[in-house]
Structure 1
């Protein structure tokens, strides 16, 4: 009997022990998704438990301790964590990117995991070990500028602790700029740029300052989506180009509306540049360009009046206002009738003010409004008051409009001989070169365009002029087949340089699209033994090296 009792107790103990063991273990399972589809190659690891990698069906099944608080999902160097503490059941589907097929976002930004909206101080006081560990690791790598190693830890903070510290977004922006610049393919670069923009959106969601952040977002978008991509030979074109400018324009426009006198000076300049670009692309009417110029001027003057930041005031006075005026004047949207009305009312009262007349003539000149009676009167009056280089230059422009080219050239030479200001001298060289170009004096015209580039290496108008000179010269250039068609390679080299500047980006892009079709074809090049990417020299008076392309 005692033996039977001992056996019964033994089996009972086994059953009890088995129950205890079973209760101490969990089998966690579910499906991992990326952009709504089952994801393969995701490493799934349970805290105090097993690990596995998902296959094509995205499913996982790992053993875990009963006290397991989180599941970690890793894809390459990107790590995300799902907090399961206090949750019932053992099935946890997870959206690594995008949303779950049910439509439930993995987190507020489609990244999976629960969101804790505590501040860094709150989280540390509460003893949140995940936050403490991930923040410590992230910060250590970030300080070393090892952004690749910092990224998975930053991702945990970004997804699960979005309100812990604004540095997540400020420092995250710096990390993403580094990733974008180092990306090796266009596909990777565009993906990173889109992720970068979302960082700004999420920063606004949790830390406000919408107007300020939108200004930064618009500036970053144009810097990386347009300028950097263009510099790397991935310039957006056609509808894609329009959309790039539209996005930047909308963000900058809203930023200015919200910020007013608090607008950053750079935002005002970029706003005018995108305005003119969209006008040239046929996406904005002339009237809107005028309104946007008035808005830019108004806000700039408000910044000066408020005088809250001496450095900003100086920047607005010395850069923003004159540059915005120049952009507007050269846009083609500056209606001469409108400008003349603005100045006509004040000219009589200021006809002895040399600086006023110079400013007026510069603005009218940039807008190509040189045929009016007002321009004529002001030009003659300035020459009477101050027979300087600038006055001679304006006399030359007036004579050009009257058709007296020979006399105009005399005044241009006088202006160029007298001028000591290099920036003004560059503008004289440019216009004189354009006059020579109109007379088909191509070689001499190019020499003046080159003089401009010696002073202003990035002057897009000078690069455009050289490109135009070569296109025009192609008609009379001696040579056959590749020799003659290769001129269009050189012309497009200069249009590419011009395209890097916002002022000429649209015109240059259109020129490139127009003249690419005149490139030598592969068959012609093959007969000449030429391969794509090889250096080719265009001879004659052009005498420039270019690159073979089709």
Structure 2
């Protein structure tokens, strides 16, 4: 019996201990519990003015009671701020709300997490007050430094806006430092996007961060070339290269060799279909076919999407066509169609190749044979559904006289020679 009593006493003591875990009640426990119950009930019903007095008693008499004292305290004073119309009182309540975060850190630590929450509240209260911009800048710098990839989404755009406001109000920050902060913020957004969560929202945040940058410093081609490109070249830093690439794209500097240089550095560490395609297109337009083919080939290897593959083959076809290699251009246009039968541009491109082959392929022996290239072109335009091109090609068909002179008949099959090497049905022009 005595053992049972002792066991019951042990269980009771242990239960009380567990129930009080995380709580540090003052000497006047009963009053403290009463005040705690009163203010918590008021917070739950959003009666923040009612919650203020019992909450303040606990702040005065049991400041290390429990972390919830400051979590709820922030709710109380932020709610009171929203309801207050008197400017002076509103400011006092704002300061009290922010003090809740500072005291939470003082008594319970967890500074990075708490600052992450305090920062956006401070931004809301201070963004219209120039005298607070230095304080905001310091707060966001520290918050971002402590949280990095864990920085809350709301704080990312707010941080860039703080940078903008601080810079434009005469704050001690250089253009290069603005760019550095922009780069750090963008890196965090990029990392969050790669997780696959909240992508549309994060892309919108990045778009706004980009706009805030251009509203803060004049980001033109010369700025990037002079200030950032040299840093990128020092050690081929992919993060700096990504900044250069993004900023040159934003400033419409994509024709610069530096743009391609930056893209290739980024591609080395982050190979991606879109990037390979961009690099290939730039090399193609610059006349470097070997480099273009290299990156087009890599782009094909980086996707299983047939539509994307079709885009690449069509781009390769256009490149070969512009360099006069009609056979290779047609081969790639056909590959584009194999991956996407609806790619009408590929049919049009082949039709154009045939139309342009008249002078190259004509033998001068038979006007009918020489003009078969136009029938071949017409057939391609027809598949593309390009009526204007069809009409242009048909105007170049052999005449009925030319057909009769050679003893030929409309409707008979004939072979187009030269590199085209296709069979067509003989038709006359209108």
Please state which structure has a larger fraction of its residues in strand: 1
TM-score (normalizing by structure 2): 0.47
Larger radius of gyration: 2
